[in-house]
A and B are shown apart, each in its own frame.
Chain A
Amino acid sequence: MANQSNLTVPSVEQDNAVVLCPTGRVDGTNVTILQGAVRERLEAGQANIVFDLADLNYISSAGLRVFLMAARDLQGQGGRAAFCNLSEQIRQVFEITGFDKILSVHGNRDDALSTF
């Protein structure tokens, strides 16, 4: 579908974690791209993932579900998920849904990395 091209998930390894930077929009039409990027890391045995959301413009509930699954699955592997650099819009979504209370949310990447 048209929106698939609107999402990329570049990653960098930093300290003892991998940083995934979903870039663009995550919605029902392309959520499998984000899901795939997370699953790949989980299957490689990666313990800690930082989701740097600086370049994420929009996320639908389908995308939030992927974050939730990532947090749960990483915990199951003895690791953790942390989130940082939320734009005003994304922060609002996290606040309304209460995800900011459930997920580990931080101001910037260093703060997120330092929690591992």
Chain B
Amino acid sequence: MSTSAKILVVDDEEDLELLMRQRFRRQVRRGEYEFYFAHNGREALDVLGENPDIRLVLSDINMPVMDGLTLLSQLAEIEANISAVVVSAYGDMANIRTAMNRGAFDFVTKPIDFSDLQVTVEKTLRHIQVLEDALVSRDRLVALRQELVVASQVQTSVLPAALPVTEHFDVHAQMTPAREIGGDFYDFFSVDEYRMGLVIADVSDKGIPAALFTMVSRALLKAAARNHVSPSACLHEVNQLVSQDNDACMFVTLFYAVLDLRDGNLRYCNGGHNPPRLISRGEIREVPSTGDIALGIFMEHEFHDNEVVLGVGDALFLYTDGITEACNVAEEEFGEKRLDEMLERTGDASISDVVAEVVGAVEEFAGGVAQFDDMTCLAVRLNSTKPA
């Protein structure tokens, strides 16, 4: 630390001031110590009031007006982070015991052995430094917790409160946030009378900036979905907006699809997200890539649409990498193979059971190991087509 240690010496002997300055002149000259002096407890409290950064008090016990033991009680009451070392006559064990019980950190005896005093001062200053470091850590921790609470509220607020319900499809989603908040989100909404929009996305990084980026991305996509029928046109628009002034190089991997309930046609664009799975008669297929990139990294990128068709009874399973990259104790990943095996096994189970079984399998695999990423999945099954 560059600042000097501020030490208050409290003693009614006038010549102690001179003696201290003399004995510790090197430390004072080097700027390591800075001394303050008071002649009794009352004066000491005044000096402390004027100099709140004093952390070490060396105090005599027997003094007029306010003695050292009373001063110690006062110090304890004002809850300042001050460590006190008492100076007392040799053999005055009763007072020393009382002082220690009132919170003194250490004691030295009179006549003062200055080399012993120096060792004691240094030891106490180290102790003070440890205390201060701990306080800084505690403050950081409090700030961090605060940030996480806010981020978690933000993240929950970006998820749809309720998913739309009709006889034509079943839909279910689940998000398990990591301990440190990330930026997964999903969405499912009506584009028009016949078409549903499906979104799953994962924002890079953690914390408040990521959560805000998540909110912005979701809002922009929803706005774009109103303007364009083509998913690639929507991603193009969002990409343009989030790439501007993106100093922090944040990005979002985002899959957006429009499901036409009239014929099960699914038109989609995949901006750098893990490929969703198409579940058709017990067979699992990856939804083919559109050769696109995450949003926010390259403004000039041209996005592409692709199409697959969902037959009646077919389902689409979308997920974030928190699912496939969940780790167990041996640091193995859950992986896509296990995911596909799970999906194969779920067969005709209801769509909410499919989601629950996958999440359950991932959690069982992880075996209680804390995960660093959110786990999100969204699944939709087409029950019937909607007559045009």
Establish whether residues A101 and B249, one from each chain, have CB atoms under 8 Å apart when the complex forms.
no
Roughly how many angstroms separate A29 CA and B370 CA in the complex, as a whole number? 12
| Bound form: Cα–Cα A101–B291 in Å | 10
Complex contacts, B298 vs chain A, CB 8 Å: 101-102
Q: Which residue from A28, A61, A96, A102 sits with its C-beta under 8 Å from B180?
A: A28
Is the beta-carbon distance between B205 and A62 smaller than 8 angstroms?
yes
B297 interface residue per 8 A CB criterion: yes
Indicate whether A97 reaches chain B with its CB closer than 8 angstroms: yes
Q: Which residue of B204, B274, B275, B292 contacts A62 across the interface (Cβ within 8 Å)?
A: B204
Question: Is B105 positioned at the interface, with any CB of A under 8 Å from its CB?
Answer: no
* Interface footprint category on B: 20 to 34
Given contacts A65-B251, A97-B253, contact A27 B372 (CB under 8 A): yes
Q: Is A58 an interface residue (CB 8 A)?
A: yes
Contacts of A69 in B (CB 8 A): 248-249
A16 within 8 A of B: no
Give the shortest distance, in Å, between B268 (CB) and chain A (any CB). Answer: 15
Is B42 interfacial (CB 8 A cutoff)? no
Would you give the 0/1 interface string for B269-289, flagging 1 where the beta carbon is closer than 8 Å to chain A? 001111100000000000001
- When distances are taken between beta carbons in the complex, the residues of chain B under 8 Å from A41 are none
Residue pair B272, A98 in contact (C-beta under 8 Å):
yes
- Contact call A61/B297, Cβ cutoff below 8 A: no
Chain B's nearest CB lies how many Å from the CB of A73? Answer: 9
- Tell me whether A64 and B293 are in contact in the complex, defined as CB-CB below 8 angstroms, given that A27-B372, A29-B372 are known contacts: no
Please report the C-alpha to C-alpha distance between residue A102 and residue B246 in the assembled complex, in whole angstroms.
16
Q: How far is the CA of A76 from the CA of B87 in the complex (A)?
A: 62
A98 nearest CB neighbor, chain B only: B293
Encode contact with B along A17-57: 1 for CB under 8 Å, 0 otherwise.
Answer: 00000000001110100000000000000000000000000
Specify which chain A residues have a CB less than 8 angstroms from the CB of B99 in the assembled complex: none
Which residue numbers of B lie inside 8 Å of A, CB to CB?
A: 180, 182, 202-206, 248-251, 253, 271-275, 289, 292-294, 297-298, 301, 321, 325, 333, 372-373
Chain A: residues with CB nearer than 8 A to chain B? 3, 27-29, 31, 58, 60-62, 64-65, 68-69, 72, 96-99, 101-102
